[in-house]
Chain A
Amino acid sequence: MADTYEGRSAFFANYGSMTMTVASYTGTTANGTATVEVAALKGISITPKFEHVTLYGMERVTRAAVAKHSLNVDVSVEVAMWNPDSDHILKGVLLGRYDPASAVNKTNINEARWKNKVARFNISMEMIETDALRKVVLVASDVYFESVPYEMKENEFISRNLSGTGKSVYVTTYKRATTQDSWMKI
């Protein structure tokens, strides 16, 4: 029995997935395809948000006009598993780059070429409707994280609550092919 109600679908989180990749900082794909190895995802939130300016005048108490500017994409992710060998997020935030050979230490943090660089990531959130006939992929691009918090609490697994800001967002909807198990872009 289908879950769809008049074209409206429900999306259960556990059907979905999140993928994080290193965003290119040179405008090419040469160094922009590395996957950030995280797992045990607890939740993800992506919020495209504009600043709004409203106009009021003395002749009326109701709003006269509204305009928007300055898009930001707020991103928060909680992950409980990551690969400490590559750890792109930690190195990206602290070193400004993703060189796996560079240790996180004071010398590398202060390296003149990189000390003020901001590492960026692309985060893809895939949502599949409960009937599995359509899926929506939302990509937050050029996301930077200001910090990498480590939470070590009694009786709990250590996790990272990452909060970042993206530059833009892309949304693509796919439909499942009727003759084969594949997705077609709508």
Chain B
Amino acid sequence: MAMLDTDGEKTVTLRAEDVYFESVPYEMKENEFISRNLTGTGASVSVT
């Protein structure tokens, strides 16, 4: 996940590693686009 500061001078990249998802939900709701709300768990994280 790359985040750029509002001055456009610095970028922070956050990387979640070894993420697994317990489920793959399909939500089909009236008058809405179909979406997947994914919830996962990673083993570790690194920030650069």
Whether B23 and A48, one on each chain, are in contact in the complex, defined by CB atoms closer than 8 angstroms, is yes
Minimum Cβ distance to chain B for residue A88 (Å): 21
Is A127 an interface residue when CB atoms closer than 8 A count as contact?
A: yes
Whether B28 and A43, one on each chain, are in contact in the complex, defined by CB atoms closer than 8 angstroms, is yes
Chain A interface mostly: strand
The interface-forming segment of A12-20, A94-102, A147-155 is A12-20
B residues 16-48 touching A (CB-CB < 8 Å): 18, 20, 22-34, 41, 43-44
Whether A125 and B26, one on each chain, are in contact in the complex, defined by CB atoms closer than 8 angstroms, is yes
We find that the number of chain A residues with CB closer than 8 angstroms to chain B is 28
Minimum Cβ distance to chain B for residue A89 (Å): 19
Give the contacting residue for A43; candidates B23, B25, B30; CB below 8 A. Answer: B30
Give the contacting residue for B43; candidates A18, A42, A63, A125; CB below 8 A. Answer: A63
Whether A52 and B20, one on each chain, are in contact in the complex, defined by CB atoms closer than 8 angstroms, is yes
Take A62-B43, A63-B43 as given contacts and tell me if A10 and B28 are in contact as well, using a CB distance cutoff of 8 Å.
no
Residues on A facing B (Cβ under 8 Å) = 10-14, 16, 18, 41-52, 54, 62-63, 66, 68, 74, 125, 127, 138
